[in-house]
Structure formats: structure tokens, C-alpha cells
Structure 1
Amino acid sequence: MIKLIAMDMDGTLLNSHNEIGWENLKAMRYARSKGVSLTIASGRAPFDVMNLLKEADIEAHVIGGNGSTLHTLDGKLLGADFLDTKEALEIVGDLTAKKYFVSVSTEHGIYHPENGELWLRQELERLHKPDVRGEGYQRSAKQTYHRNYSSPEEIQASGEGIYKLLVFSFDDQKLSRAREKYEAKHKYAIVSSGSGNFEIMARNVSKGNALYHLASYLDIPLSEVMAIGDNYNDLSMFAVAGISVAMGNADQEIKDQCNRVTLTCAEDGVAHAIYHELGKK
């Protein structure tokens, strides 16, 4: 019997309106009624996830920042793993000097480069291609907890801990050059959460590690944990969960590493996976 279900958000739990759809919400509540604990495991900031859960009126534990933070359903912080501030700001300075869009996630806000949107428009013009990647960025940029920065010093002045850097580009070669540079240092956890980005966290950060710690805290064997996701930053939790479920909209490489495949996020694949596992007809 599954006792803990971990769900990614974007491309998994959320619909095209950036909301937890009614069918998925009903399934989550059904799981809760059966004594199953829920956790959201997202690359998003924990306060972003908590806000979405509050809007949907559903309680869940929260794994934020790809595993950088872990909160219980009542908001208690179980653990956080931050980047070294000096090193993180050096990375920000290096990349923004080369006109990379670098989003900086801190304890209380998310900082975007002041000229970031201009740089992205210039990339599109140079590459002569349509914007097929920017929807998620543009949607999140409207949130009130986003702030602009013109230099790394402005972020440093906030005094907030930094737990994630997200590097975004429409230029695949440009993105690869930056990713290879920081992967070669063997100092960071680096994953992709979608087309056109990579994310930099502290060395041992992953959704899988956070899920392992949460299961231990709840005294739930990993064999009784189910993980549902769609992207490469979900692979670490698939590796530790007793049952791994890929979304129908996931890449084939991700599907190949899971026990089963559910429907797409547009088809309420999370609800389908929950009902299948819990035996609801």
C-alpha cells in the first residue's frame, strides 16, 4: 500500500492555466482520505508552491528548489541547503556579464536580471526563431515576489540565503557552454527542469535526497512511496521511490526509467496514476 505520493508541479500536476485542476485535486483529496501523505516536489520556490496549495485548499509537504528546501505540511522547515553566497554571486556576475538570463532564488524572493527580457528578445532576433520556451518564464515573472537586479551586489545586500540559480536561454550552444563550465567544477548539483534551462544548486541537492529524508521523517518505507513527474530533475526521486510514474508528456528517456507511464498533464495524468495505484475504479 502506498503511504506517500510525491508529485512534480509544472508539466505534471498543473494544468495549462497554471492551476491544480479539479480532477487532480479530487484525486489528491481521495488519497488523503485513505491516509496517504502528499508532497509536492518542485523546482519552484517553496513559497510559490505553498501559495498554489493554499489557492487549491489542499495540504501537502513541500520539497522546493529541486530539493534545496523541505517543509512539512504545517510549514515547519525540516532542512535547507544553500549555495555559498560568494560563489553564487560570482556565477551570477560571470553569466550576466555575458548576457545570460540568470534567475536567483533566495529565501524570500526570486531575482531576475534587469535587462534579462531584452537579452532574450535579442537572442530570438539573432537566431531567427519563434519563442517556444518563454511561456513558463513570462508566467512566473508576473508574480509579486519577483524582483529585478542590476548587479549581484543588490542581491547580496538583501542578506538572503541563495539556494538555486536558474540559467535560461533560447540559444542551445550558448546554454551548453555555460552548463559544461560549471559541471566541470564538480562542486554543484546541476539539472534541467525544462527546455532551454539548467539549474545550479548545492552539491548534494536533489528531489530524491529530499524525498528520502521526508520518508524517513514520516517513518514510511521507500517501497511505499510513489513519485510522479515529467522531467530530468525528477529522475533522482524516481530512483528512490518504490513506484515511479512518468507523465505521458515526458521525454521517452524519462519514461524508460519509470515503472509505468500515466496520461499527460492535459489529461489529468496525476489523478489517473493515483486512482490506479489506490484501486479506485
Structure 2
Amino acid sequence: MSDAPSHPIRFVLSDMDGTLLHPDHSLSQYTIDTVRALREAGVFFSLASGRPPRAMLQQAEALGVDVPIAGFNGGTLVNPDGSVLVSHHLPAEAALIALALFSEQPDVEVWLFADGDWLRREPGGPMAVREEHGLGYGPIVVERFEPYLDRVNKIVAASTNTQLLIELEAQLLPKVEGLAQVSRSQPVFLDVTAMKANKGEALKTLAAHLGVPLAQTAAIGDGGNDPAMFHVAGLSIAMGQAEEAVKQQATVVTGSNVEDGAAEAIERFILSAR
């Protein structure tokens, strides 16, 4: 497949963790400068992440993002002024199925996101400590998840046992077929969201909002939730450290996030073409 897109790219949608961000969740100056150059060239740039929108605002500001961003794997699209453009909630039936399956696993921390909050039923475990550092805020401990089931943004099974999450993904998919999206946003996170809460739908919605044909869009990512946008973008770019199954669904592969591969790809495949 040719490295160069067949149409000039006018909109870039990028994942955050494992893509734009280094492992310590920082943005390099190289990445900040490259995104600035992209925007100065007249190309729209935005973020799509499994994170809640409120945990994306600092990075969006640092990158000068001035168009809507997509949180919760595309489940919630938020305008620059903080107003909600689109929001998709997980059906209660699917939420109950996922919660029942995950709660049976002693090696899994179960999180629920609703009303803009991160909720859990037990005090913080090791995965919560890690996530708190990345999100910039901590969870709220609640007695029960049931009062929130009519407005769930995302359910997460978090574990250092990657093989267990792979097995849980395979078990859950047929149980919620047609009701929910199930994907590993990172090797240690298994996300459950509404059917339309995926990055492919987010890319379609944002491109239409900006008046950009899909053939003139590019998507960059590394996780199992990123091929959804790869499949609709005119140019798809996988990070060097991504799993092979993710790389195989992209147009091109760039360097790892440690190597600032996203910025490198923007320069090579988008800016140079302009």
C-alpha cells in the first residue's frame, strides 16, 4: 500500500495514550510543535481517547485544539467551550452483563464512568493508582453501580493480566452483540461502551461537523479501539509498538510513542504532502 494519501489531508484525529503521549503521560515539545505546524497549514486536529473528556482538556489546550474532542472511545464529543456535541450511553442490559462477568474475577478492578465521574465499589487498587496519575483525578467509591445504569459512559475491566482481559473480551463479545462495543484500549484495559461509542463513528461525526470528506481525514493510534477509525479514515497510521493485529489494519506504521512516532508520521505523510 502506498505511503502517500491519495487526497490532501484536511483533518487528523489522534489517539492520546500510547500515541501522542509518552509512557509517563507527557507531551514532547516536538509533538506540540508538529501539531502547531499542522494547524498553521490549515489542517484540523483533534483527539479521540478512551479517557473521559475532562481528562483530555489539559493536553487539548497544550496542543491548541480548537475543534470538538472525542472522549470515552467516541461516546462523548465535547465542544471547545465544554458543551456536549454528542453523547452515547451504554444500555443498562449490556452494563449489567459486563459488570456480572468482570465482578467474578479477583484479578480485575471494575470501574464505571457516569455523570463525568469515575466510580468504583472498592478502595483504590494498583490499577486505580496508575489510572489516577494518567487522568489527573481519582475515583469516587460508591456502594452500588445500579443507580447509574441509565447513564453509563463506559465500563472498564483493569488488570495487569493481559491474557485474562483477552479471554474476557472473547467471552463478553457474544453476550453483548448488538448492544455494546468491547475493545482493549490498552493491554491492561478492557472497555465496554455503547454501539455508537467508537472512534470510527466519532471520526465520521467530526469530519461531517468540520465539512471534511472522509477521504481527506487521517487517524493515528495504537490500541484495539483504534482500528474502528482506521477503517473509515483516508489515511490510517499505527504506532510502532502497537500489537500486530492493529498494525495490519493501518495504511502505514510509524515509530513508537517513545520515539514520537505520531509527530514523525504527521511530518512525513501529511505536512510534506502539502
**TM-score, normalising length: structure 1:** 0.83
Distance in 2, matches of 1:111 and 1:242, equals 37
Give the whole-Å Cα distance in 2 for the aligned partners of 1:260 and 1:172. 26
Q: Distance in 1 between matches of 2:150 and 2:57?
A: 19
SS at match of 1:274: helix
Give the partner amino acid of 2:152: I
What is the DSSP-based 3-state SS (H/G/I as helix, E as strand, rest coil) of the residue aligned with 1:73? coil
Count of matched residue pairs: 262
> Equivalent residue for 2:256?
264
Q: Provide the alpha-carbon RMSD of the alignment.
A: 2.6
Alpha-carbon contact 1:29-1:58 (below 8 Å) kept: no
> 1:17 & 1:56 partners in 2: Cα distance?
17
Paired with 1:219 and 1:34, the residues of 2 have a C-alpha distance of 17
**Aligned-pair CA distance for 1:5:** 0.3
Alpha-carbon shift at residue 257 of structure 1 (Å): 1.7
Deviation at 1:108, TM superposition (A): 1.6
Query: Match of 2:228, SS?
Result: helix
Aligned-partner Cα distance in 1 for 2:82–2:174: 36
Q: Deviations over 1:22-64 (max 9, x none)?
A: 1011011111111111110111111111133235554443111
Q: Which residue of 2 aligns with 1:196?
A: 188
Q: 1:156 to 1:55 in 2, by over 3 A?
A: farther
| CA positional deviation for 1:264 | 1.3
Alignment correspondent of 2:80: 73
Whether 2:169 is the aligned partner of 1:179: answer yes
Q: Which structure shows the higher helix fraction?
A: 1
The corresponding residue for 2:4 is none
Q: Determine whether 1:156 maps to 2:147.
A: yes
Q: Aligned partners of 2:47 and 2:217: how far apart in 1?
A: 13
The alpha-carbon distance between structure 1 residues 174 and 54, as it changes in their structure 2 partners (threshold 3 A), is same
* Per-residue deviation, 1:248: 1.3
- Alignment check: 8 A CA contact 1:182 1:188 kept: no
Corresponding residue of 2:240: 248
Runs of 4+ more than 6 Å apart: none
One-letter code aligned to 1:48: A
Q: Residue in 1 aligned with 2:208?
A: 216
Change (3 A) 1:198 1:224: same
Matched, 1:3 2:10: yes
User: What is the percentage of aligned positions where both structures have the same residue?
Assistant: 29
Equivalent position amino acid for 1:201 in 2: T
1:279 lines up with 2:234 in the alignment: no
Q: Which residue of 2 aligns with 1:236?
A: 228
Give the letter aligned to residue 278 of structure 1: L
Worse-superposed segment, 86-95 or 4-13? 86-95
Query: Which residue does 1:15 correspond to in 2?
Result: 22
CA distance in 2, matches of 1:189, 1:70: 17
Correspondence for 1:166 among 156, 161, 166: 156
Q: Aligned equivalents of 1:98 and 1:267: distance in 2?
A: 36
Quote the offset at 1:86 in angstroms.
Answer: 6.5
Counterparts of 2:267 and 2:80 in 1: how far apart (Å)? 22
2:98 is the alignment partner of 1:107: no
Q: Which amino acid aligns with 1:244?
A: S
Which residue is equivalent to 2:5? none
- In the TM superposition, residue 110 of structure 1 has moved relative to its aligned partner by 0.9
- Name which of structure 1's ranges 85-94 and 178-187 shifts more when overlaid on structure 2: 85-94
Q: Mind listing any 5+ residue stretches in structure 2 that lack a counterpart?
A: 1-7
- For 1:144 and 1:259, locate their aligned partners in 2 and report how far apart those are by CA, in whole Å: 33
Q: Distance in 1 between matches of 2:136 and 2:222?
A: 27
Report what 1:141 is aligned to. Answer: 132
Q: CA deviation at 1:150?
A: 4.6
Equivalent position amino acid for 1:270 in 2: A
